Amino acid sequence: MGSYKEIDMSTWKRAVHCHIFRSSVQPQYGVSFELDITHFLPRVKERGLSFTLAMVYAVTKCANEIEEFRYRFLDGKVVLYDRIHTSFTYLNKETELFKVVNVEMQETMEEYVAVAAEVERNQKDYFTGPPGNDVYQFSPVPWISFTHISHTDSGKKDNAAPNINWGKFFERDGKIILPFSVQVHHSFVDGLHIGKLADALQSYLNEL
């Protein structure tokens, strides 16, 4: 488990908001929007990288730069992780079943894609245990271009790990568009912060 600091609820600016949303019947919520990958897609192909793993890296890098995406509940307390890692689903084409692969974040996209590909290749089991608390959970659905997506509800109200997805990209008005979705815990992340992620991620995709 990564390093973290415990939050002092008596001085934390978000304490009241956290308490209110944590008490909700369904404290997680999701937002779907579109990303422009016109620049990003060919750049990834030029480098010979997996689009899926490159996107996992890009999103994780941008989300890690936004403090609100690194808060979690741990043993009933609120903590802020220094760094969040990745957990993604990967399809076995022969069985058409998915395995969940957990990979530590790396400094560069090339390093991450290489490490993630090796971990995925060597992992034989579909599940190696529950995902860590300090991860972003990815489950792309590249077969459909969705406008909305919902997620399995574990019933654990303190599950604050964001669930991030994208669908099948398509061309519109000369641009390559990617449907994208992020589910977060309202105790920590507001629409404002999802907006920050969308802006940061689009900038990264434009500038790679």
What tokens does 110 get? 């090339």
Diameter of the chain by CA atoms?
53
CATH number of the domain where residue 201 is located:
3.30.559.10
* Amino acid in the structure at residue 67: E
- How many domains is the chain partitioned into structurally? 1
Element (H, E) at 114: helix 109-122
* 150, 154, 159, 160 alpha-carbon torsion, rounded to 10°: -10
The single residue listed with the structure tokens 């629409």 is: 191
Per residue of the chain (208 residues), give pLDDT as tens.
679 999 999 999 999 999 999 999 999 999 999 999 999 999 999 999 999 999 999 999 999 999 999 999 999 999 999 999 999 999 998 999 999 999 999 999 999 999 999 999 999 999 998 888 999 999 999 999 999 998 887 778 899 999 999 999 999 999 999 999 999 999 999 999 999 999 999 999 999 8
Domain residues for the domain of 189 are: 4-207
pTM, rounded to two decimals: 0.96
The CA distance from 71 to 73, in Å, is: 7
10 Å CB burial of residue 130 (0-12, 13-18, 19+) is: exposed
